[in-house]
Amino acid sequence: MTTDTPAETPRNSNGFWSHLVNTRMLVCIFTGFASGMPLYILYQLVPAWLRSEQVDLKVIGLFVLIQFPYTWKFLWSPIMDRFVPPFLGRRRGWMLVTQVALIALIAAFSFFDPSTELMEIAIVATLIAFFSASQDIVLDAYRRELLPDSELGVGNSYFTNAYRLSSLIPGSLALVLSDFLPWSSVHLIVAGFMVVAVITTLLIPEPDTHVRPPRNFYEAVVEPFVEFFTRSGWRTALWVLGFLFLYKLGDNLATALSTPFYIDLGFSRTEIGTVAKFAALWSTITGSIIAGVVMIKLGINRALWIFGFVQWFSILGFAWLARVGADSAVLFAAVSFEYLGVGLGSVALIAFMARMANKRFTATQFALLSSLASLPRVLANATTGYLVEGVDVDSASWVKSLFDFLYLPRTGLGWENFFYLCFALAIPGLLMLAKVAPWRNNDV
């Protein structure tokens, strides 16, 4: 499946190194930080905050449902393609709007108490997810319009590294600070780091693609979907969408409630904020760097195969940690292995999605593809608490029926068996590679 895009920028005569060091890569770094911060606030900080305040694990698992805007962002992405804000341009203008809203909403967490105001926290978190997803729409479109196809791998590697690096703020610094400061102060400090995103938006240039914005409803909403499904036929399009849903299903499930998992094993928040988060950071960055550099020569298709198998086997590290318990050395090793796979697989998948997006409809098509890729994290992860702890007399009848239908024990799988399930659920996505990314296709 190929894209009908304008001619790409030719390879620089300086060769290999010209793709690694240029101003486009610097832009990818800072926009990656801006994109990652809000998600890690929802993904790591909020679960840790709620668990430390004795909120039930199953409730925390259901909190993942607030991330549904990430899976539905393609519905309003045509608006961000069609309309141009009266300041900074089509891409940068929307960046600024979403980033200012995010700063205000993250700071708003400081006014709520999890023991009495869970609903209010859920509303604010949902709004953060909405504006974060909206920011991702425009940042993904900006990056696709900025990078030639030959730099999609390395550019997305830089972006992903900065994206992961941003997790140090809500996932490490915030947890350490929470041992010494009230959570209200921690939320305000974290919100302050989003100012980096605003400064980035004010400094970077608007991309010059020579592609006019859609002029009407049909061009903005209908034509992007028609082009995607008719480019290589609707069957091929459905295979691609199914692959995006399944490729990181097991991986996303395994890391969904990683912070509560560490807490349940008996690690302190300081240990989590230092050992676990440092291990996740260095290994993700290493994996992303390896992925970006290797993909220049290897290509996207073969990278999806090799990195996908590493990502698959790395899940077993968490099962090992669950069996051993609160051992800091095992924590470091297991988390390092898991997030090495995360870094490798994420870069390859993002590059694949970027390649699938036609530059005529960047925001809408990229939003559709990334929505499918994030759906497992939101939908399946909501069940993690039930899968681990099981159901009880107060659980909804449909949850009990689902457990019975899937032959799952109502007492729960426990953490170790849960990770074995994640390992099994990663297999279908790997099997689909033969159809959507054939090894013999020397794509780049």
| pLDDT tops 70 at residue 351 | yes
> What phi and psi values does residue 299 have, to the nearest 5 degrees?
95, 165
Mean pLDDT of 152-177: 80
| pLDDT tops 50 at residue 10 | no
Residue 57 forms part of a structural domain: yes
- Lowest-confidence pick of 73-77, 252-256, 409-413: 409-413
Task: Give the pLDDT confidence of 407-433 residue by residue, as tens digits.
Answer: 666 667 788 888 998 899 889 989 988
| pLDDT tops 50 at residue 389 | yes
pLDDT value at position 99?
94
> Measured between alpha carbons, how far is residue 339 from residues 80, 153, 312, 320 in Å?
33, 18, 11, 15
Q: How confident is the model at residue 154 (pLDDT cuts 50, 70, 90)?
A: confident
> In angstroms, rounded to a whole number, what is the distance separating the alpha carbons of residues 200 and 95?
10
Mean pLDDT of 120-148: 86
Task: Give the pLDDT confidence of 364-384 residue by residue, as tens digits.
Answer: 787 778 777 777 766 666 667
> Measured between alpha carbons, how far is residue 1 from residues 167, 236, 347, 357, 443 in Å?
34, 7, 19, 11, 11
Domain count, the chain: 1
Residue 7 forms part of a structural domain: no
The residues near 154 (Cβ < 8 Å, ≥ 6 apart) are 19, 20, 25, 292, 293, 295, 296
Residue 86: Cβ-neighbour burial (10 angstroms; 0-12, 13-18, 19+): exposed
> In angstroms, rounded to a whole number, what is the distance separating the alpha carbons of residues 163 and 170?
12
Mean pLDDT of 35-39: 88
pLDDT value at position 4?
44
Q: How confident is the model at residue 9 (pLDDT cuts 50, 70, 90)?
A: very low
Q: What count of residues does the chain have?
A: 444
pLDDT value at position 11?
43
Q: How confident is the model at residue 1 (pLDDT cuts 50, 70, 90)?
A: low
| pLDDT tops 90 at residue 162 | no
pLDDT value at position 104?
94
> Measured between alpha carbons, how far is residue 228 from residues 4, 225, 363 in Å?
10, 5, 13
Q: Which two tokens stand for residue 307?
A: 């990195």
Q: What is the CATH number of the domain that holds 346?
A: 1.20.1250.20
Max avg pLDDT among 85-99, 114-128, 226-240, 268-282: 85-99
The residues near 92 (Cβ < 8 Å, ≥ 6 apart) are 142, 201, 202, 204, 206
Residue 8 forms part of a structural domain: no
Task: Return the HEC string of the chain.
Answer: CCCCCCCCCCCCCCCHHHHHCCHHHHHHHHHHHHHHHHHHHHHHHHHHHHHHCCCCHHHHHHHHHHHCHHHHHHHCHHHHHHCCCCCCCHHHHHHHHHHHHHHHHHHHHHHCCCCCCHHHHHHHHHHHHHHHHHHHHHHHHHHHHHCCHHHHHHHHHHHHHHHHHCCHHHHHHHHHHHCCCCHHHHHHHHHHCCHHHHHHHHHCCCCCCCCCCCCCHHHHHHHHHHHHHHHCCHHHHHHHHHHHHHCCHHHHHHHCCHHHHHHHHCCCHHHHHHHHHHHHHHHHHHHHHHHHHHHHHHCHHHHHHHHHHHHHHHHHHHHHHHHHCCCHHHHHHHHHHHHHHHHHHHHHHHHHHHHHCCHHHHHHHHHHHHHHHHHHHHHCHHHHHHHHHCCCCCCCHHHHHHHHHCCCCCCCCHHHHHHHHHHHHCHHHHHCHHHHCCCCCCCC
Max avg pLDDT among 76-80, 254-258, 274-278, 306-310: 306-310
| pLDDT tops 50 at residue 25 | yes
* Angle value at C-alpha 367, between 363 and 373, nearest 5 degrees: 150
CB atoms within 10 A of CB 122: 17
* Angle value at C-alpha 121, between 118 and 127, nearest 5 degrees: 145
Classify each residue of 72-83 as buried b or exposed e, where b means 16 or more C-beta atoms within 10 Å of its C-beta: bbbebbbebbbe
Residue 1 forms part of a structural domain: no
Max avg pLDDT among 74-88, 314-328, 348-362: 314-328
Cβ(261)–Cβ(30) under 8 Å?
A: no
Classify each residue of 140-161 as buried b or exposed e, where b means 16 or more C-beta atoms within 10 Å of its C-beta: bbbbbbbbbbbbbbbbbbbbbb
Percent of all residues in the chain with a pLDDT value above 90, rounded to a whole number:
9
Average of per-residue pLDDT values in the chain: 79
The Cα diameter of the chain in Å comes to 68
Mean pLDDT of 224-234: 81
- Alpha carbon 223 to its chain centroid, in Å, reads 27
Q: How confident is the model at residue 146 (pLDDT cuts 50, 70, 90)?
A: confident
Residue 338 forms part of a structural domain: yes
pLDDT value at position 107?
92
Residue 9 forms part of a structural domain: no
Q: How confident is the model at residue 103 (pLDDT cuts 50, 70, 90)?
A: very high
* Angle value at C-alpha 179, between 177 and 181, nearest 5 degrees: 60
> In angstroms, rounded to a whole number, what is the distance separating the alpha carbons of residues 135 and 420?
35
pLDDT value at position 6?
38
Closest CA to 106 of 132, 82, 87, 85: 132
- Lowest-confidence pick of 14-23, 28-37, 54-63, 354-363: 14-23
Task: Give the pLDDT confidence of 39-52 residue by residue, as tens digits.
Answer: 888 877 888 788 77
| pLDDT tops 80 at residue 203 | yes
> Whole domain around residue 361: which residue ranges?
19-435
Residue 442 forms part of a structural domain: no
pLDDT value at position 229?
84
> Of 85 and 14, which is predicted with more confidence?
85
